[in-house]
Structure 1
C-alpha cells in the first residue's frame, strides 16, 4: 500500500509539473449534432477543464448560419462575471450551470438559428490557446403556406405558366402540381431553384380550363394553394356556321328593303293624294269666279 501510495504521489507531481509548463483550457462537447423542431428548446453543451481559478474566465458563443457561412455572428458572452446576449437572441438564450460549465440553452428556436455553433473558452493567466468546441444545430420546420401564381395568355392557343413559391420548410419540401377538375391529372414540375416550382402549359384549349393545386410537403406537414384557370375559346368558324351567319344577314337585309319599299309607297301615295286635292281646288276657284268677271264686262 505504501509503495502504491508513493507511486500515486509521484504521478500527481508529474501532472502538476507538466501543467505548470503547458497551461491550456480543454473543451469538450457531448453532442456534435443537435436536431430540434422549430419552436422547441435546444440544449447546446460545452464542458471545459482548467487548472486556474475562474476569476478571469471568458466564454464566447458564435453562430455561423447555414444561410450565410461567411458571416459568423455572436450569440452570447460571459466575461468577468457579466453576461451579454446578442440582440437577435435577446431573451431566448442563457447559460446553464455557470461558472462551472459553458453549456447554453436556446429557446423558441427559429429556422434562422440553424448552423454551426462554437464555444471559445479562455481563462487567464493560462497562456495556451483558448479551448474551442464545435457543434451543428438543425432546426426542422413544416412548410409555410405556399403562394400560387400564373402568367401568360389564356386565349386558345396561348401559353400559360403556373408557379408555386414556398418561403420556409426543412427538410426541403417536395412540390407537386395537380389538375383536380374536371379530370384529376399529375402534372410534370420544373424546379426553378430554391423552393419554387412551375408548370408550363403550351397551346392551351378549353380542356385546359379547371382547378389546379400545388401541394408542398415534408415529414412535418403539408400545405396547399390553388389556381382556377379559365381558357377563352372563340366561336367555331365552320362552313355551316358561316353559311348560317350569311343567311341571317341576307334575311335581315331583305326585311330592311321591304320596310323601305313600304315606307316609300306610303309616302308616294300620300304625295299623289295631296297633289290631286290641290288641283281640284284650283279648278273650283276658276269656275266660281268666272261669271262675275263676265258680268262686270257688260256693265
Structure 2
C-alpha cells in the first residue's frame, strides 16, 4: 500500500474517531522522522474538526536537541495568515493548509533536529488530545578525519596514532587498521565520541607501514592515512660510517687526480723550457756561421 493510501486511511480513522467524540483531535502519522542534512522533509500532522475552519489556529514549535529547555515557534497559521520564524523564512511552509497541518522543512540543518509539537485549535470546538509530537533526526555524514602521530620512531620507542572527526550523525564509529603487509585491526582508545587513538609500544622495523583511520556511520565511510618509518640507531650508525668511508675515498681520489694534473703540468712546463732553450741555441749557432762567412769569402777571393 502506497503512502497516499495509508495517509487517506489514517485521515478517515481520525475523522471517524472525532465524529464519535464530537471534539477536535490531532494525530501524528509518524513518531520519528529522519532526513539527511540538506534534503527536504515533511513533518506530518493530521486533525479533524467538525466546525467550520474560519477560526482555525495551528502552531508548530521545536525543542532543539541543542537547547531543549528553550523551544522556538517554527510556523503559525492563524485566521488565514501564516507567520514563520525569522530564522526559518524560506525553509518552512504548510503543504495542505487548511485541511492538513503538515509542514515541509527545506535545506535541513543540524539545528533543525529536535522534538516538534503540532498544536491545533478550532473554536468553538473543545480540544481533545489536540497536541501531536514527533522527533526529527538530521543525519550527517562523517567529516574527513584528521590523522596525526606523536612519539619516538627509533626502534624500542613508543608511538601514538590519533584520529578525530569534526561531525557526524549518528556518531561515527572510529577504527584503526594497519594495511600492510596484511590488514590488521588495532585496539583503539576512544577519547570522547569523535576521537580515538592507538598506542604502539616497543616499536620495531616491522612496525613500519601504512596505517588507516576510518570514520563510519549510516551515510558514509571516510579515511585518513599515516605512513610510519621506524629506524634503527645501529643501522643508522653503520650507514654513517659507510658514508664517511665513501666520502674519504672520494676526497682521496680527487686529491690524487689533482696531484697527477700538477705533475703533468710541471712536466709539460719543463719540456717547453727545454725546447725553447734548444731552439735558441740552434738560432745562435746559425747566426755565427752567417756572420763569419763573408770574411772567409773575402780572403779566398784575394
TM range (shorter): 0.5 to 0.7
Alpha-carbon distance in 2 for matches of 1:90, 1:136:
21
| CA separation of 1:167 and 1:71: change in aligned 2, threshold 3 A | farther
SS at match of 2:234: coil
Gaps of 5+ in 1: 1-14, 249-299
1:223-242 alignment, distance < 5 Å: 223-235=222-234
Per-residue deviation, 1:73: 2.8
State the partner residue of 1:30.
29
SS at match of 1:235: helix
| CA separation of 1:195 and 1:53: change in aligned 2, threshold 3 A | same
SS at match of 2:206: helix
SS at match of 2:233: coil
State the partner residue of 1:57.
56
Alpha-carbon distance in 1 for matches of 2:101, 2:217:
35
Q: Quick check: 1:174 aligned with 2:156?
A: no
Per-residue deviation, 1:104: 0.5
CA contact (8 A) 1:155 1:232 kept: yes
CA contact (8 A) 1:120 1:130 kept: no
RMSD: 3.3
State the partner residue of 1:198.
197
Moved over 4 A (4+): 125-130
C-alpha deviations, 1:32-90, integer Å up to 9, x for none? 22233333321111122334443443222122233443343332222333322224433
Q: Quick check: 1:86 aligned with 2:85?
A: yes
C-alpha deviations, 1:208-234, integer Å up to 9, x for none? 332211112234322111122333532
CA contact (8 A) 2:40 2:107 kept: yes
| CA separation of 1:130 and 1:219: change in aligned 2, threshold 3 A | closer
State the partner residue of 1:293.
none
CA contact (8 A) 1:143 1:170 kept: yes
State the partner residue of 1:47.
46
TM-score, normalization: structure 2? 0.62
CA contact (8 A) 1:121 1:130 kept: no
| CA separation of 1:53 and 1:160: change in aligned 2, threshold 3 A | same
C-alpha deviations, 1:70-126, integer Å up to 9, x for none? 343332222333322224433221101112221101222334433321111223445
| CA separation of 1:113 and 1:179: change in aligned 2, threshold 3 A | same
SS at match of 1:76: strand
Alpha-carbon distance in 1 for matches of 2:99, 2:143:
41
